[in-house]
Structure 1
């Protein structure tokens, strides 16, 4: 996949930060929940040899500190901030789209089901998809 069509999504948090690599058409390439402590080290491992065309950063918790770290570590990478209001709820919906309930759980509305894992990585996907859809940057 061409690195020109990849975007890095970052959903910053106090203890854990969601990271996602998303294609220019909004397709999820990979996502992870990384520790906020030493985030940049974990991020380099997450990215591997992929070089994104831009970074989409949520504007919520610890975003200003994260923005400074990202700008220092990747000075040539365009950085865009997007409104992350409601992104966790959207990430939960995305989780059930990617991993539909199985067995008896498929008989229940997904609104009644708990997501079995942290969705911070999927929230980062949502942020990139919002950017690609709306180009709503700050």
Structure 2
């Protein structure tokens, strides 16, 4: 199963296409470009669902996505601690180098936004829940 996950925000959103096996695509877009970004990912991945984090602006954006023609089922998901988990995931995929390796992980700040990684975290959590319950 492939899903597209959205970590919603007021100004920008993280968007990721994730299958059970791997991350297919991820990006950060302006909130006003969300529909176009999701539609592009749908065209390239044929995802079966769109997951939207239920935090900041989530309900509003889910409603906008549901109103789009041809959109698969849009599901609101819990995004508790997704930003913290996204930071951890970022550093797992991009380990610190040089002197930054000596800084404790909890004190490191990613050098770029991690909204896309938060979307990955939302998708992986949801897919794991589906796997565990089914």
- State the alpha-carbon separation in 1 of the partners of residues 103 and 71 from structure 2: 47
- Structure with the higher fraction of residues in helix conformation: 2
CA-atom RMSD, angstroms? 1.9
Per-residue Cα deviation, 1:33-68 (whole angstroms, up to 9, x for no partner)? 110013212333444522211111110111111111
- SS across alignment from 1:8: strand
Give the Cα–Cα distance (whole angstroms) in 2 for the partners of residues 39 and 80 of structure 1: 16
**Counterparts in 2 of 1:1-138, with a 5 A limit?**
5-25=1-21, 27-75=22-70, 77-135=72-130
Alpha-carbon distance, 1:74 to partner:
4.8
Rounded Cα–Cα distance in structure 1 between residues aligned with 2:38 and 2:72:
14
* TM-score (normalizing by structure 1): 0.85
What is the CA–CA distance in structure 1 between the aligned matches of 2:48 and 2:42, rounded to whole Å?
Answer: 12
Aligned length: 131
* Contact residue 58 and residue 81 of structure 1 kept, 8 A: yes
Question: Could you list the runs of 5+ residues in structure 2 that have no partner in the other structure?
Answer: none
Q: Which 5+ residue runs of structure 1 have no aligned equivalent?
A: none
